[in-house]
């Protein structure tokens, strides 16, 4: 090397600030590291306080084992830890923390105070650190356990501080991180105080079911089904939602591996496989999943913030998760048949189906003129181009043969409702074939286009609720709803803040009064989050309305009168794209008499 080389050892304070860039992204990251230390210390009660989204103060007090003076001084040094001693220990990690760099990194970018006392000692120790410099060490009177106060995060790194969001946004992240850790350790009592107001006070010694009820409410808890703890090397427990209870993103899928909030691609794949054919594409169930296995079967040292893990036998994890979820859904009677082999099972058919529309109930005169549709394919889902809308009022039932003369290339100018098959599908006869209609998908399409047209024209009809509904949303969803109150009012949704993460909904778009208000707000919020500021354009409106229409549409096995079926058929024919629902599933499947005759060998 030439004289006067350029490579130098970094000073300790610079190294700590670089490490802080990996460990400390925002105040919620600070909270995560400290909560994990408290759990590792055996705490049964943890009290959290944050001010201004944690930018001014993050305080965590626990009743764990505490530290003496020597341990307290070592805790703020890089790579000082009590959790591993040799390289071999990394293969058998059973604690949440193990790298020994969190407190050193945090104290290097904040005004840091630590008070700690062991249970068998009379006095505790207090450390004061500012920007990585130890300012004071002294005895202190304090309860057993540890209290950490982190003030003015990134005060000595203005560039990093500029990247922090508003206090409101950082508070939402604090709440979400607290919720995640509270779910991970339901037996630990926890409280959260934000800007001087108590947000959560969770009892110690809770079961996972009790903790879910405390965090999400009774309604969500009742919609979840428990997983039976399995046997073998990978034990899976927790709760999953029924296929009818889904949302547009994965933000309510919580996975914990040996108590650590973390995930892996194989777990996401297993969840998708378990629900395959049960829920539409783009929908995701609510899941709280606890995986337990020997520490040497999972590698937690693959991600700087330990958000992702790697499994030694990933196929065992996949099979255990799929089997546990399918078994829970099967026990719940969620239209699911536990199948064998690689092919996913399909929905179960009822043992006996009693159609609500019988052939004998329908006189031959129940034939009505129909708005002309473009030519149909001879088989499979219809995929013809769109046609101009025809007002429903112009398509009234008439006697057989009284309709207008058919156009040469319009194969469907009239139809007759035959009845219902399979407890769901409606069978229609046309002049040269028959059509099977899915009323749920058809109703989705009709509602979607009706509301979308009103939104684009600024003529959404809003109808007040008889009794306004009060809805408390998860922190992340509440943030996006709060930011877009005016946009939601343009959709015909009358929503206003009620304090905290609670909102009052007093109006919905006309025709959607039967819709679950909370589910609708969460769906719209998830689309707003995904599409960001493009919310002023048409894309988000189409997606949000499609999801709302799905919730408000006719459900499988709903009873419809003959008149309702006829009106649905007429309205569907007037749609711009009557052949698929907003999610892309077919609404109609057509078979010509020519094809039928060929299959019977008549041609």
pLDDT of res. 340: 30
Highest mean pLDDT pick, 107-121, 258-272, 380-394: 107-121
Sign of the C-alpha dihedral, residues 359, 361, 363, 369? negative
pLDDT of res. 91: 56
Q: Which class is 223-331 in CATH? A: alpha beta
pLDDT of res. 304: 62
| Sequence-separated (6 or more) residues with CB below 8 Å from residue 110 | 30, 131, 150, 151, 152, 153, 154, 155
Share of the chain above pLDDT 70, in %: 71
pLDDT at 6 over 80: no
What does the CA dihedral 374, 281, 482, 194 come to, rounded to 10 degrees? Answer: 180
The C-alpha atoms of residue 196 and residue 50 are separated, in whole angstroms, by: 8
Tens-digit pLDDT profile for residues 193-232:
999 999 999 999 999 999 999 999 888 888 899 998 777 8
pLDDT of res. 359: 31
Lowest mean pLDDT among 150-159, 466-475, 486-495, 556-565: 556-565
Segment 140-159 shows an average pLDDT of: 94
Tens-digit pLDDT profile for residues 69-93:
999 998 888 765 554 445 454 555 5
Share of the chain above pLDDT 90, in %: 31
Is the model's pTM score more than 0.75? no
Segment 158-180 shows an average pLDDT of: 93
pLDDT of res. 32: 93
pLDDT of res. 95: 61
Task: Report residue 528's pLDDT band, with 50, 70 and 90 as the boundaries.
Answer: low
CATH of 349-603, one of 3.30.1540.20, 3.40.50.720, 1.10.10.410, 3.90.1150.10: 3.30.1540.20
- The CATH code that applies to domain 12-203 is 3.30.565.10
Average pLDDT in the chain:
76
* Whether the domain at 12-203 and the domain at 223-331 fall into the same CATH topology: no
The C-alpha atoms of residue 273 and residue 318 are separated, in whole angstroms, by: 9
DSSP codes, 374-391: PPPPSSSB--PPP-----
pLDDT at 387 over 60: no
Rg (CA), the chain: 30
Locate the domains of the chain by residue range.
Answer: 12-203, 223-331, 349-603
Q: What are 416's two structure tokens? A: 């007759």
């Amino acid at each position: 090397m030439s004289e006067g080389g350029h490579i130098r050892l970094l000073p300790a304070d610079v190294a700590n600030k670089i490490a802080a860039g990996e460990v400390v992204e925002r105040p919620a990251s600070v909270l995560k590291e400290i909560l994990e230390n408290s759990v590792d210390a055996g705490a049964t009660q943890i009290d959290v306080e944050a001010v201004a989204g944690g930018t001014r103060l993050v305080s965590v007090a626990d009743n764990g084992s505490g530290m003496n003076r020597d341990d307290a001084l070592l805790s703020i040094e890089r790579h000082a830890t009590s959790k591993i001693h040799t390289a071999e220990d990394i293969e058998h990690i059973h604690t949440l923390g193990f790298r020994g760099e969190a407190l050193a990194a945090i104290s290097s970018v904040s005004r840091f105070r630590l008070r700690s006392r062991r249970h068998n000692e009379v006095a505790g120790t207090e450390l004061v650190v500012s920007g990585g410099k130890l300012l004071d060490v002294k005895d202190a009177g304090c309860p057993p356990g540890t209290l950490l106060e982190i003030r003015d995060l990134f005060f000595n790194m203005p560039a990093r501080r500029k990247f922090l969001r508003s206090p409101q946004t950082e508070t939402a992240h604090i709440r979400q991180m607290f919720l995640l850790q509270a779910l991970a350790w339901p037996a630990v009592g926890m409280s959260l105080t934000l800007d001087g107001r108590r947000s959560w006070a969770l009892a110690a010694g809770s079961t996972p079911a009790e903790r879910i009820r405390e965090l999400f409410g009774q309604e969500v808890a009742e919609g979840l089904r428990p997983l039976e703890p399995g046997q073998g090397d990978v034990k899976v427990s927790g709760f999953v939602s029924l296929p009818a209870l889904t949302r547009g993103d994965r933000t309510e899928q919580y996975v914990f591996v040996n108590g650590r909030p973390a995930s892996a691609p194989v777990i996401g794949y297993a969840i998708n496989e378990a629900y395959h054919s049960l829920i539409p594409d783009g929908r995701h169930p609510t899941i709280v999943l606890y995986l337990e296995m020997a520490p040497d079967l999972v590698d937690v040292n693959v991600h700087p913030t330990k958000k992702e893990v790697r499994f030694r036998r990933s196929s065992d994890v996949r099979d255990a998760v799929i089997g546990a979820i399918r078994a829970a859904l099967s026990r719940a009677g969620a239209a699911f048949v536990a199948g064998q082999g690689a092919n996913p099972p399909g929905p179960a058919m009822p043992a006996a189906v009693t159609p609500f529309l019988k052939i004998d109930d329908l006189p031959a005169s129940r034939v009505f003129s129909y708005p002309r549709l473009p030519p149909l394919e001879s088989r499979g889902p219809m995929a013809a181009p769109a046609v101009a809308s025809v007002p429903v009022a112009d398509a009234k039932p008439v006697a057989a043969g009284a309709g207008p003369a058919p156009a040469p290339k319009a194969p469907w100018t009239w139809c007759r409702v035959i009845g219902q098959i399979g407890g769901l599908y409606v069978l229609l006869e046309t002049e040269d074939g028959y059509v099977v209609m899915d009323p749920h998908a058809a109703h989705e399409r009709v509602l979607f286009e009706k509301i979308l047209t009103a939104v684009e024209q600024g003529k959404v009809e809003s109808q007040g609720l008889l009794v306004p509904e009060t809805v408390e949303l998860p922190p992340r969803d509440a943030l996006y709803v709060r930011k877009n109150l005016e946009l939601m009012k343009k959709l015909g949704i009358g929503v206003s803040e009620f304090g905290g993460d609670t909102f009052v909904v007093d109006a919905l778009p006309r025709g959607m009064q039967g819709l679950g208000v909370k589910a609708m707000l969460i769906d719209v919020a998830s689309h707003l989050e995904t599409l960001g500021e493009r919310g002023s354009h048409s894309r988000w409106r189409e997606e949000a309305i499609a999801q709302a229409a799905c919730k408000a549409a006719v459900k499988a096995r709903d009873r419809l009168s003959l008149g309702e079926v006829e009106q649905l058929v007429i309205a569907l024919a007037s749609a711009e794209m009557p052949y698929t629902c907003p999610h892309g599933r077919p609404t109609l499947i057509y078979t010509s008499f020519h094809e039928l005759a060929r299959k019977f060998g008549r041609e």
